[in-house]
Structure 1
Amino acid sequence: MTDSTQSIGIRDVARAANVSTATVSRALNRPDSVSEKLRDRITTAIRDLGYIPDASARALSSRRTRTIGAIVPTVDNAMFARGLQALQSYLASQNYLLLLATNEYDLEIELEQARNLVSRGIDGLILRGDARHPDLRRMLMAHAIPFVNVGVYDPDKPYPSVGVDNEAAGQRITRHLMDLGHRRVATVSAIHRNNDRAQARSRGVLTVLADHGAQPPAQWQMQVNYNLDEARQAARTLFGQDDHPTAVICGNDVIAYGVMLEAIRMGLKVPDDVSFVGFDDLDWSRHLNPSLTTIHMPTDEIWVCAGQWLTASLAGEPTIPHRELDFSLVVRESTAPPPR
C-alpha cells in the first residue's frame, strides 16, 4: 500500500461523491439509511479512490465491529461448507464480516475458540447444535453477545435456534423403509459424542423401528466418523456374514456413500439385495448409480436465517427466538422392497 493510499480518508470520499462526511459514515455503518442511488455514488467513490474504512475507528464510534463469529465442528463436511458459504454471502450483503473457527466436536475446544472470537470483538456468534460447555453461555451473556444455535429446532430451550426437527426426520426416513416392508434394518450413524443432531436422528429411527418390532441387534447399530473409510469398514462388518440386513439407515449422505459403495464392491445389488438411505441430500446423492434416497435439509436457508436473526437482534429489531424449517423425503433408486 502506497503512502498516497494510506492518506485517503472519509473526507476525500465525501468530496468525490459530493456529499457530507456524515452521509458517507451512514452509508458505511447503516447502508439502509441512505437511498440506493446515493449509496451507489459513495460506493463508486470508495472504489475509485481505493479507500479502506478503518474498522477499529468504526468500532469505537458505533461500539460494533460488524463481525459475526461462527464455530462449526469441522470444515471437512460438505453441509457445513455449503451453509457457511450461504451465510457469508448474506452477511456480506449486510456489510458484516464472518470469522470462522472449528471445535472438532470437543466442547473444551469450542469454549476456547469462543473466547478467542470474543477477544477479537465479534458482535454475535453462531453455534452448531445445542451441546455446549456450561461456561460458554455464561461468558456470552456476561459480554452481552447474542448467539443462535443452528441446525436444531428446540423451542423448549431458552436459547435461540434455527433448524429442523432432526428426530422427526429420522422417523420419516424410517417409515419409508417400513412402508416398503423392511424389518431387518441396520443403522450406521455419525458419532453421537457432543452431536445432538446425530443423537436426535438416531432416536427417531429407533423409535419407529421399535414400533414395528424391528429393533436392530446391537451389532447392527454402528457409529462412525464422518469419512468414507470408516463407512466402508462398517459395510464390511455388516455384510461380511450371511446374516445381514436388508436395509441400512445412514446418519448422513457421506456415510451412506461409503457403506453403499462397499456393499456393491462386495457383490450385493442395490436395491435388489439391500436398500440404503441417508440424510442431507448432498449434490452427489442424485448423481450416484444408483442414486441415493435421502432426507433433504434446507441447508442454505438455515444458515441465512441464523444470520438474519443475529443482524436483526443487533439492530434492535424484534425477533422470533425459534424457527423451524421443513425437511423433505427424496425417494430415489437406492430403496426398494426387501428381497423375498
Structure 2
Amino acid sequence: MATPEPTSLPPTKGRSGAKDVARLAGVSTATVSRVLNRSQQVDPATRERVLEAAAKLRYVPHGAARTLRSHRSKMVGAIVPSFDYALYARTTSALQQRLDERGYALVLAEHHYELAAETRIAGQLVEHGVDAFVLVGLDHEQRLFSLLQDYGRPYVLTWGVDGAQRHPSIGFDNRAATLAVTRHLVGLGHRRIGLLSAPPEGNDRARARGEGLRAGLAEAGLTLDPRHIAYAPISLAAAEAAMQQLLAAPERPTAVVATNDVFAVGAMIACRKTGVRIPQDLSITGVDNTDLGATQTPGLTSVATPITEIGRAAADQLVARLEGLPCETFQAFPVELVHRGSTAPPPSE
C-alpha cells in the first residue's frame, strides 16, 4: 500500500498544536509525541512525514507545558571551570551531540575555578528546571552535592575517577598520566625534572598530575626541587612566562613535565626565544595529546586522554538515569603515552 502523503496545509489561527501536526501527517497525536521525543518505536517513513508536517506548521512543543506534565525539562546542565580551555569545549561538544541524539538539550555555564560560584550557578539552573548535571573534576563543595540530592537531580563527575565511589564519575587516572611521562624521562636518564602546572588549589586534576610526577621521581630515589616548580593560569602566554622562571632557576631542570599540552607548548615557545634546544638541551612532555602539541617542531611527547569519550559517556549515563535504565555509574578510561621528538637523554655535563 502506498505511503500516504501529508494532506494540504490546514488553516490555523495562532499557534499550531500537536493535533494539527497529526492531522497534516495523517497519524495520531501519540505518534507525533513519539517522533518529537526521539522515540525509536516509529518507522522512518512515518517519522519523516511527522517532521515534515511539524516544519510546515512551524510547530515547536510547548516546553513549559511538557515540563509540568512530565516534571522534566529534558535539559542537562554542564558547569565547567573555564570556556577558555579548548579541551573542555571538546568534551562538552561531544556531550551536546550525544544529548541531542537522545532528545535532550545542553545548558552550559562556567565557574572560573571558584567552587562557591559553581554551587550558586547550580542552584540557579535547578530553579530553571534543569534535570541533571555534568561537573568537572572531583573537587566540589559539599553544599553542591546536598543541593542536587535535595532536589533529586542526578549528576556525574568527569575528568577524574572517584576511587572511593562516593559520587558517580567518568574519567581517567590523572596521576597515572604524569607518572607515565616521569618514568619515561627517568628512563632516559633525567634526574632534574621540573613541573609546569595550573595552581593545585580547588583543582584536583592539577594536584593529581603533580602527585604523579612526584611518585615517578620517588620510584627512582629522586625528589622535586621546589625551585623547579612553576604554576600559571592555562594559557600559552602564562605558560611561556612560567617557563622563563624555570629556565632562570639555579641548576635548571633538564626536563619539564607540563600538566597539559597548552603548558607544554608555552614552554616550547619560551625555549625557542631563549635559544634552548628541544630536546638536545631540555626535554618537554605534555598531557592530553592535542593537535597543538602534535604539530609542533619537534612534535610533543604527550599522554593521550579520552577527551570526547568522557562527554559521550556522561550523556549516556545521565539519560539512562533520568529514564530509569541500567547504566555504569563509575567508568575509568585508559591513558596512553605517545612518544614524539620532544624528549631525549639529558645533555652531558
Q: Report the TM-score when normalising by structure 1.
A: 0.96
Please say if residues 177 and 335 of structure 2, whose CA atoms lie closer than 8 Å, have aligned partners that are also in contact.
yes
Cα deviation code 1:278-311 (max 9, x no counterpart) = 1111211111111111111110011110110000
The one-letter code matched in structure 2 to 1:189 is S
Equivalent of 1:100 in 93, 105, 108: 108
Distance 1:4 1:277 in 2: 64
Please say if residues 196 and 256 of structure 2, whose CA atoms lie closer than 8 Å, have aligned partners that are also in contact.
yes
- Partner residue, 2:80: 72
- Runs of 5+ unmatched residues, structure 1: none
- Partner residue, 1:188: 196
Map residues 39-188 of structure 1 onto 2, 5 A cutoff.
39-188=47-196
Equivalent of 1:32 in 40, 47, 60: 40
Cα deviation code 1:218-269 (max 9, x no counterpart) = 1112211111222111221111256211100001110111111101210111
Percent identity for Structure 1 against Structure 2: 39
Deviates more, 1:163-172 or 1:211-220: 211-220
Distance 2:144 2:175 in 1: 26
SS in 1 for 2:284: strand
Deviates more, 1:233-242 or 1:108-117: 233-242
- Partner residue, 2:315: 307
- Partner residue, 1:206: 214
Closer/same/farther in 2, CA of residues 242 and 165 from structure 1, 3 Å limit: closer
The one-letter code matched in structure 2 to 1:33 is Q
Equivalent of 2:258 in 225, 250, 256: 250
Distance 2:30 2:293 in 1: 52
Closer/same/farther in 2, CA of residues 271 and 44 from structure 1, 3 Å limit: same
Distance 1:116 1:273 in 2: 52
Please say if residues 279 and 296 of structure 1, whose CA atoms lie closer than 8 Å, have aligned partners that are also in contact.
yes
Once the two structures are TM-superposed, the CA of residue 28 in structure 1 deviates from its matched residue by 2.1
Distance 1:150 1:241 in 2: 36
Closer/same/farther in 2, CA of residues 241 and 300 from structure 1, 3 Å limit: closer
The one-letter code matched in structure 2 to 1:228 is L
Once the two structures are TM-superposed, the CA of residue 92 in structure 1 deviates from its matched residue by 0.8
Root mean square deviation of aligned Cα? 1.5
- Runs of 5+ unmatched residues, structure 2: 1-10
Total equivalences in the alignment: 338
Distance 1:30 1:259 in 2: 47
Please say if residues 31 and 39 of structure 1, whose CA atoms lie closer than 8 Å, have aligned partners that are also in contact.
no
Deviates more, 1:94-103 or 1:18-27: 18-27
Closer/same/farther in 2, CA of residues 41 and 294 from structure 1, 3 Å limit: same
Once the two structures are TM-superposed, the CA of residue 173 in structure 1 deviates from its matched residue by 1.2
Closer/same/farther in 2, CA of residues 187 and 6 from structure 1, 3 Å limit: farther
Please say if residues 305 and 336 of structure 2, whose CA atoms lie closer than 8 Å, have aligned partners that are also in contact.
yes
Once the two structures are TM-superposed, the CA of residue 181 in structure 1 deviates from its matched residue by 1.2
Closer/same/farther in 2, CA of residues 71 and 245 from structure 1, 3 Å limit: same
1:233 equivalenced with 2:224 (yes/no): no
Please say if residues 188 and 234 of structure 1, whose CA atoms lie closer than 8 Å, have aligned partners that are also in contact.
yes
Q: Report the TM-score when normalising by structure 2.
A: 0.93
Distance 1:177 1:126 in 2: 35
- Partner residue, 2:5: none
Distance 1:89 1:303 in 2: 9
SS in 1 for 2:194: strand
Distance 2:249 2:195 in 1: 16
SS in 1 for 2:35: helix
